[in-house]
Amino acid sequence: MIVVMKHGATARQIANVIARIEQLGFRTHLSEGVERTIIGIIGNERPLDKEQIVRWDGVEKIVPILHPFKLASRDFQPEDTVVSLNGIRIGGKAVVVMAGPCAVESRQQLLEIAQAVKAAGATILRGGAFKPRTSPYSFQGLGLEGLEILAEARAQTGLLVVTEVVSPDQVPLVGTYADILQIGARNMQNYALLQAVGKAHKPVLLKRGMMSTIEELLMSAEYILSQGNERLMLCERGIRTFETYTRNTLDINAVPLLKQLTHLPVIVDPSHGTGKWELVTAVSRAAVAAGADGLLIEVHNHPEQALSDGAQSLKPERFAELMTELRRVAEAVGRTL
Amino acid sequence: MIVVMKHGATARQIANVIARIEQLGFRTHLSEGVERTIIGIIGNERPLDKEQIVRWDGVEKIVPILHPFKLASRDFQPEDTVVSLNGIRIGGKAVVVMAGPCAVESRQQLLEIAQAVKAAGATILRGGAFKPRTSPYSFQGLGLEGLEILAEARAQTGLLVVTEVVSPDQVPLVGTYADILQIGARNMQNYALLQAVGKAHKPVLLKRGMMSTIEELLMSAEYILSQGNERLMLCERGIRTFETYTRNTLDINAVPLLKQLTHLPVIVDPSHGTGKWELVTAVSRAAVAAGADGLLIEVHNHPEQALSDGAQSLKPERFAELMTELRRVAEAVGRTL
Amino acid sequence: MIVVMKHGATARQIANVIARIEQLGFRTHLSEGVERTIIGIIGNERPLDKEQIVRWDGVEKIVPILHPFKLASRDFQPEDTVVSLNGIRIGGKAVVVMAGPCAVESRQQLLEIAQAVKAAGATILRGGAFKPRTSPYSFQGLGLEGLEILAEARAQTGLLVVTEVVSPDQVPLVGTYADILQIGARNMQNYALLQAVGKAHKPVLLKRGMMSTIEELLMSAEYILSQGNERLMLCERGIRTFETYTRNTLDINAVPLLKQLTHLPVIVDPSHGTGKWELVTAVSRAAVAAGADGLLIEVHNHPEQALSDGAQSLKPERFAELMTELRRVAEAVGRTL
Amino acid sequence: MIVVMKHGATARQIANVIARIEQLGFRTHLSEGVERTIIGIIGNERPLDKEQIVRWDGVEKIVPILHPFKLASRDFQPEDTVVSLNGIRIGGKAVVVMAGPCAVESRQQLLEIAQAVKAAGATILRGGAFKPRTSPYSFQGLGLEGLEILAEARAQTGLLVVTEVVSPDQVPLVGTYADILQIGARNMQNYALLQAVGKAHKPVLLKRGMMSTIEELLMSAEYILSQGNERLMLCERGIRTFETYTRNTLDINAVPLLKQLTHLPVIVDPSHGTGKWELVTAVSRAAVAAGADGLLIEVHNHPEQALSDGAQSLKPERFAELMTELRRVAEAVGRTL
């Protein structure tokens, strides 16, 4: 961490800053420049509160040097994390496809879709039982009944199940039915929830908030990792920008950037990332070409009647075509599907 | 709601769309233009799912006509909501000032600050006992002990207490100590929590998410109102933009805009809205000049040692000066303080 | 265009709006809903000024129905535009790669890079002679000398040349040397310049502004097309968002979206789109997988001495590897390179 | 400037970086931390290209310490710049109001509005003769005729004239008619134009780009100042965010922040900053309360027929009321109007 002193800071102010930092147990390094004096703080700066130090007399600003995340970083763990469950390896050579409806709407709907995505090559079934919706007047999910239907689909198809958990007290219940616990974008900074899944014995899929930076995503990952749960995947699902033709702007840069910064597997959700089914195929191909370890894709047998996300859901036939295209792209970049 | 058909949609597609809408119990209104045919849907469009309809054959896009919120709107309730508690009226002629530290750190800290803000003219004390923090390595609040210290400060000073609640199961506990339940920006779309405070018998201060539109803020208000809790205040606290010199960009437009769209009181938080104490005074004056019904301001007796938000906290003396300045501005716009 | 009347608009206000629209030569279509009355305007709405109409008595808002661009739209021209020059077809089956340094710095630098990108398979050489720079203290380009060096590189290598033009009076000069005139992101809404290149007899590469929507990009294209110049390509080069780990956020959604909305070729600039050379390869592959017709890539033989954009420039060897990878991805999506 | 070396950088890499910096004529300062080694560069870092240095072997990132602007900074000139012309002092105690239509549409229109704003207390008349418009099909301004009408209005009323200049070759012409040259938001980074007005002998009003940071605004100011023109004012006019209920988000924080960073006067444009006339009054009051030195307000006698910006223009009567309100707010913050 670097403390930049104000233009014209006095010798006394500089001495005081040094003394206070050393009292906190850090060594310091003074460098007097032409326009500014700066003081380097040597050691693990993460526990220091830069908002305090910036208020010390004569201080202009504080510049962190280290990434604030640690367990999630490549510095800490250089080799890739591979999340293994039931023979599926997420973060390995094969690109993993998770597909299914936004919400579980009925037994028939889910079983039909599950069969279809299985036939096309998906290995994990997605589907929401508890749905966070912008409007209190929208369908809020089937709850427990939805979880039971998911379990039935798993039994029938052999697909694993990923589903969202929305409050800490639900973690045990959802964990009974799900293979992977999903933290939705709106809950990326719901720390009570992050701590709860950090203590669970289930893999977690953590979605990036729609207006969260990569650093904040990694800090939320740090909450989960620091509770001891290392079976964690990150998911880029589009961020909010000024563009209005698409629901979100999928941040394709995030894929290689995350692969560089962290050892955790990176999943991409092109359905939320675009909000338009017509764009999902092209953006899915792009995600695999960019190095994604997996995709999370919304598929619905009747999007024109879907209770949520109809506009961005692929029909099963289109999804099957997409899988064929993805296989070719995966091979072109040295992966399999 | 308007259904815009694609350029070249067939007569059969148009007839089908009309038939399906009428099956749903709505009247329709057909208008054949030169480049596009459009179909108006007559009635309360709110329960309709535009994501479904956009998937019907021949449909290009859907244009909502009505605001999606209802209970929160001026259409529904033209006169201002005034939240009264213990003789304080929020949303009336007087501008209400809520002040105090970001977090309760100790008994001595809080009592000292409470006395100071009371002396300067604040009527409500703010202070967090449960703190959502970006980093798992930061101070997370004193919890129950913090609530007890807040209650003691109230008993000593007569100030009312506003404090944050971060999970649904905490609502009863926090409600025992707080006069106003605060929903923080990161939880604006934590719907389980919104429903819980919607059922509580306490006034609620709902902060706008840093990534949320005005419409989404009002939809979150709708969650609370639709559960029966009408003692609700909204709080503009700055949004995330590309600007990096400030922590957030305070959306001053939101103040008169919210006063136009909704009957609910509008509070402004210039501390989070700027992130820099040097800007808080000017922006507080601006908020009152723009028509805010109240302010939420962070005050700390020792910002250089504060366990959170030191950079944006005013010292008590500066806060007292601000109150003097605010009184003049309030009078200039026909309010009192 | 739809005129939405205010809740409670009077019969007289409605009649007045209808009369005024009809005076302007449009037919209208009245639809009285439960909460709002709306008036459809039938005809080519593009010349209408919605900012005027929204001020008419009783009007709440105006909703456009048609895209504001016309010549650039697929409605107007369903088949793809292919820009042909010197045997190179941009917008056809082959993906075209334009590569070279950000700025022409010297004769030796440019010739060396030109040879290298030619050898790796690029067909068009990029290089700036006039450089718009954020700081007045940065290198501003070699000007005319830079253009002459570009022409020499073309003569030596057979590569075509794309270079930026920054003011209307320079168009004839730059046009003498360049094969393709580039409009930079900062000038996307420099309308005097757009009109000047619209009258030129040279193909144009129009870069999306870092702050511009897809619709605004297409409106700027419309400026050029409406002057008669149809040899136009669009370029996605990243937009500004709140994310700070990358220089810009490359909008990968824009690729398939533009292919759907417009007939113009779509080029992607992964160098500016990421700002980091380590990300350029992955994002280039993604762009081709998403359907881009071409790439614009910064290559420098000595990035550690480059006078601009060193951080995002590939070295020639890395560029050659990228070309190999791109060839495989192009084939996987049915294209060639 | 601080060079942060990669985790695990070798002694040789560190020595090389130091040697190269010293070759450039700077002293260095080495600080070996636990996780990272950093090298401080001592001296005026502004001419250094951080994009080069980040490519040197073993370098992770570069952290600038100094603001990149100099002439515009308070460090360089601590006392306020006051732009005086014809007895009006912009940047002094009095808040200056510039008002008038978006575009000059006709002699009668402009003269009528000029009389009205003069009567209400404005001292400067705004009005565009050359209009940059998003659509090529929109009204583009009267050009020279518009300038002549502005001059006539000045002669009749004694108001000074501010009007936009959109290309470098127009600067002499516009300068003949205008008292203040306006650089519009879309041209904030049109450097050819900035250099041209930097050489002109007229005061300049530089508007912030709709997606430009404060730092970029100050860098554009630096272009003008470095050409020798010191009679410069900055204008906050709203930035582009994700919010869609307003045209832009007026950045009220920018007012006190700019007053802190720079000595230049700060003007606020609440018309573009909101895009809605109903919000202009409240936001104008806020701007004055926040410390703005002036306002730029759109006034039109017939907004319902205005050829541009009708939705955000005040009618003369409303403007007169606003002036009365502003006077009270100005006095409350120790200013006059």
Tell me the per-residue pLDDT of C283-319, one tens digit each, with 9 for 90 and over: 999 999 999 999 999 999 999 988 888 899 999 999 9
Q: Select from D27, D28, D33, D24 the least CA-distant residue to D5.
A: D33
- Residues in B whose CB is inside 8 Å of some CB of C read 2, 4, 7, 29, 31-36, 38, 40, 42-44, 63, 65-66, 75, 240-242, 244
Residue C263 near residue C74 (C-beta atoms within 8 A) = yes
Tell me which residue in D241, D243, D289 faces B286 most closely, judged by beta carbons. D289
Yes or no, beta carbons of B282 and D244 under 8 Å apart: no
Q: What integer pLDDT is reported at residue A134 of this predicted model?
A: 85
Q: Do A167 and B133 touch (CB under 8 A)?
A: no
Helices (H), D101-213: 107-120, 144-157, 171-177, 191-199
Q: Reduced to 3 states, what is the DSSP secondary structure of residue C142?
A: coil
CA dihedral sign of residues A285, A286, A292, A295: negative
Task: Write down the pLDDT at residue A133.
Answer: 85
> Å from D186 to nearest chain C CA?
6
- For the cut 90, the answer to whether the pLDDT of residue D216 exceeds it is yes
SS3 of A316, please?
Answer: helix
Higher pLDDT, residue D31 or B194: B194
CB-CB under 8 Å, B2 with C38? yes
Give the residue from A220, A258, A290, A265 showing the smallest Cα distance to A124: A265
DSSP H/E element including A261:
helix A254-261
Residue B132 is nearest to which of A54, A68, A191, comparing CB atoms?
Answer: A191
Say whether pLDDT at D16 is over 90: yes
Residue C44 pLDDT more than 90? no
Q: What is the pLDDT of residue A137?
A: 85
Cβ atoms within 10 A of the Cβ of A25, count? 7
Of A130-134, B146-150, D170-174, D224-228, the one with minimum mean pLDDT is A130-134
Would you place residue D1 in the very low, low, confident or very high pLDDT band (cuts 50, 70, 90)? confident
Sheet holding C2-5, edge to edge: C27-32, C37-42, C2-5, C59-63
**3-state class of B67 per DSSP?**
coil
Query: Alpha helices of A87-204 — where are they, by DSSP H?
Result: 107-120, 144-157, 171-177, 191-199
Over residues D229-260, the pLDDT tens digits come to 999 999 999 999 999 999 999 999 999 999 99
Q: For chain D, state the CA radius of gyration.
A: 23
Q: What percent of chain A has pLDDT over 90?
A: 83
Residues C34/B5, Cβ–Cβ less than 8 Å:
no
Best of B253, B258, B281, B288 to disrupt the D interface (most D CBs within 10 Å) is: B253
Taking CB atoms and an 8 Å limit, are C303 and D55 in contact across chains? yes
Residues 6+ apart with CB under 8 A from A86: A160, A179
CB-neighbour burial class of residue C144 (10 A; exposed 0-12, middle 13-18, buried 19+):
middle
Find which of A252, A312, A324 to mutate to test the C interface (most C CBs within 10 Å of its CB): A252
D65 contacts A4? CB cut-off 8 A: yes
Q: Which two tokens stand for residue D39?
A: 């090298």
pLDDT tens-digit series, residues B186-233: 999 999 999 999 999 999 999 999 999 999 999 999 999 999 999 999
Residue whose entry in the numeric block shows the structure tokens 């005086």: D84
Which chain B residues touch A306 with a CB distance below 8 Å? 49, 51-52, 55
Identity of the residue numbered A10? T
Type of residue found at A319: F
Task: Give D-chain residues touching B251 at CB under 8 angstroms.
Answer: 241, 243, 249
**Residue D27's beta-bridge partner residues?**
D42
Distance from the Cα of D132 to chain A's closest Cα (Å) equals 21
CB spacing of C211 vs D216 below 8 angstroms: no
HSE at residue D123, side-chain half, CA atoms within 13 A, is: 15
Q: How many CB pairs under 8 A join C and D?
A: 126
Amino acid symbol at A33 = G
For D47-74, what is the mean pLDDT? 91
* Structural domains in chain A plus CATH codes: 2-63 (3.30.70.1140), 83-332 (3.20.20.70)
- Residues of D at the B interface (Cβ-Cβ below 8 Å)? 211, 213-215, 239, 241-246, 249-253, 255-257, 260-261, 273-274, 276, 278-279, 281-283, 285-291, 325, 328-329, 331-333
Q: Two tokens at B9?
A: 């949609």
- Count of B-D CB contacts under 8 Å: 128
Residues of A in contact with C244 (CB under 8 A): 213
* Residue pair A96/A269 in contact by the 8 Å Cβ criterion: no
What is the tens place of the pLDDT at every residue in A41-93?
Answer: 888 888 888 889 999 999 999 998 888 999 999 989 999 999 999 999 999 99
pLDDT, tens digit, 9 for 90 and up, residues C130-160:
988 888 888 889 999 999 999 999 999 999 9
DSSP C95: P
- Given this model, what pLDDT does residue C170 score? 93
**Cβ within 8 Å, pair B310-A55:** yes
* C313 closest CA partner among D157, D55, B258: D55
Instruction: Specify the length of chain C in residues.
Output: 337
Q: Where residue A273 falls among pLDDT bands split at 50, 70, 90?
A: very high
Contacts of residue C166 in chain D, CB cutoff 8 Å?
190-192
Could you tell me which of C51, C69, C71 has the C-alpha nearest to residue C61?
C51
Amino acid type, C268: V
Residue B60 has pLDDT above 90, yes or no: yes
Strands (E), chain D: 2-5, 27-32, 37-42, 59-63, 83-85, 88-90, 96-100, 124-126, 160-164, 180-183, 204-207, 232-236, 266-268, 294-298
- B295 vs B285: CA distance, rounded Å: 10
Neighbours of chain A (3+ CB pairs under 8 A): B, C, D
Per-residue pLDDT for C265 more than 90?
Answer: yes
| pLDDT at D144 (0 to 100) | 95
**Mean pLDDT across D271-300:** 98
**Chain D residues touching B245 at Cβ < 8 A:** 213-215, 257, 261
pLDDT of residue C139: 86
- The residue in chain B having the minimum alpha-carbon distance to the alpha carbon of residue A60 is B311
Give me the amino acid identity at A54: V
Nearest Cβ partner for C42 among B29, B34, B65: B34
In this structure, are residues D242 and B211 in contact, taking their beta carbons and an 8 Å threshold?
yes
pLDDT at position C165 is: 96
Is A169 within 8 Å of B168 when comparing Cβ atoms? yes
With CA atoms as reference, the chain A residue closest to D26 would be A33
Of all residues in chain C, the one with the smallest CA distance to D54 is: C311
Q: Once rounded to an integer, what is the mean pLDDT over residues D5-24?
A: 93
**C181 confidence band (pLDDT: 50, 70, 90):** very high
Please say whether the beta carbons of C104 and C146 come within 8 A: yes
Q: How confident is the prediction for chain A on average, in pLDDT? A: 95
3-state class of C63 per DSSP? strand
Of C31, C33, C242, the CB nearest to B242: C242
Q: Which chains share 3+ C-beta pairs under 8 angstroms with D? A: A, B, C
Contact B329/D331, CB-based, under 8 Å? Answer: no
Which helix or strand (DSSP H or E) is residue C157 part of?
A: helix C144-157
Rg (C-alpha) for chain B, rounded Å, is 23
Q: Which two tokens stand for residue D42?
A: 């001592």
- Nearest CB to B66; choose among C29, C31, C35: C35
| pLDDT class of D65 with cuts at 50, 70, 90 | confident
The pLDDT of residue C79: 97
Closest-approach residue (CA) in chain A for B67: A135
Mean pLDDT on B53-58: 92
- Rounded to whole angstroms, what are the CA distances from D139 to D131, D132, D142, D143, D188? 8, 9, 9, 11, 22
pLDDT number for residue A276:
96
To the nearest 10 degrees (0 to 180), the angle between helices C144-157 and C107-120 is: 40
**Integer Cα distance of C153 and C146 in angstroms:** 11
What 3-state class would DSSP assign to B126? Answer: strand
Tell me: pLDDT of A184 over 90: yes
Give me the amino acid identity at C67.
H
Chain D CB contacts of A244 under 8 Å are 244
Whether residue A44 and residue D66 make contact (CB cut-off 8 A), yes or no, is no
HSE, side-chain direction, 13 A CA sphere, residue C71? 18
User: Chains near C, with 3+ CB pairs < 8 A?
Assistant: A, B, D
Residue D176 backbone class (left: φ over 0; alpha: ψ -120 to 50; beta: rest): alpha
Q: Which residue of A has its CA nearest to D29?
A: A31
Judged against a pLDDT cut of 90, whether residue D137 lies above it is answered with no
CB contact under 8 A, B34 and C44: yes
Give the type of residue at C237.
Answer: R
Model confidence pLDDT, tens digit, residues B249-291: 999 999 999 999 999 999 999 999 999 999 999 999 999 999 9
Beta bridge partners of B94: B336
Q: What is the pLDDT of residue D178?
A: 97
Share of chain A above pLDDT 70, in %: 100
Q: Could you report the predicted ipTM of this complex, rounded to two decimals?
A: 0.95
Among C167, C189, C303, beta carbon nearest to D167: C167
A84 Cα to chain D: minimum distance (Å): 30
Mean pLDDT of A245-259: 97
Interchain pair C250, A253: CB under 8 A? yes
Instruction: Output C63 or B332, whichever has higher pLDDT.
Output: B332
What's the pLDDT band for D132 if we cut at 50, 70, 90? confident
- Read off the pLDDT band of A293 (50, 70, 90): very high
Contacts D262 to B, Cβ<8 Å: none
Distance CA A158, CA D158 (A): 83
| B141-164 exposure pattern, b = at least 16 Cβ within 10 A, e = fewer | bbeeebbebbeebbeebebbbbbb
Instruction: Determine contact, residues D295/D270, Cβ cutoff 8 Å.
Output: yes
Which residues from chain B sit within 8 angstroms of residue D256, using beta carbons?
278-279, 281-283
Q: From the CB of residue C310, how many other CB atoms can be counted at a distance below 10 Å?
A: 24
D139 or B107, which is more confident: B107
- The per-residue pLDDT for B137 is 85
How confident is the model at residue C94, as a pLDDT?
A: 97
Residue D34 has pLDDT above 90, yes or no: no
pLDDT greater than 90 at residue A312:
yes
| Confidence bin at B47 (pLDDT 50/70/90) | confident
Hey, of C63, C252, C321, C331, which one would you mutate to test binding to chain A, going by the most A CBs within 10 A of its CB? Answer: C252
Nearest 5 degrees, angle CA C75-CA C81-CA C85?
165
Say if the Cβ atoms of A49 and B308 lie within 8 Å.
yes
> Considering the entire predicted model, what is its pTM?
0.94
pLDDT band per the 50, 70, 90 thresholds, residue C230? very high
pLDDT score of D286: 98
Helix (H) or strand (E) holding C198, with range, is helix C191-199
CB contacts of B31 in chain C (<8 Å) are 29, 31, 40, 42
Would you tell me how many other CB atoms lie within 10 Å of the CB of residue B315?
A: 18
Q: Which of D308, D318, D317 is nearest to D275 (CA)?
A: D308
- Listed in sequence order, the residues at least 6 apart from D247 whose beta carbon sits closer than 8 Å to its beta carbon are D238, D272, D274, D275, D276, D312
Å from B243 to nearest chain C CA? Answer: 8
pLDDT value at B50 more than 90: no
The residue type found at C243 is E
What's chain A's Rg over C-alpha atoms?
A: 23
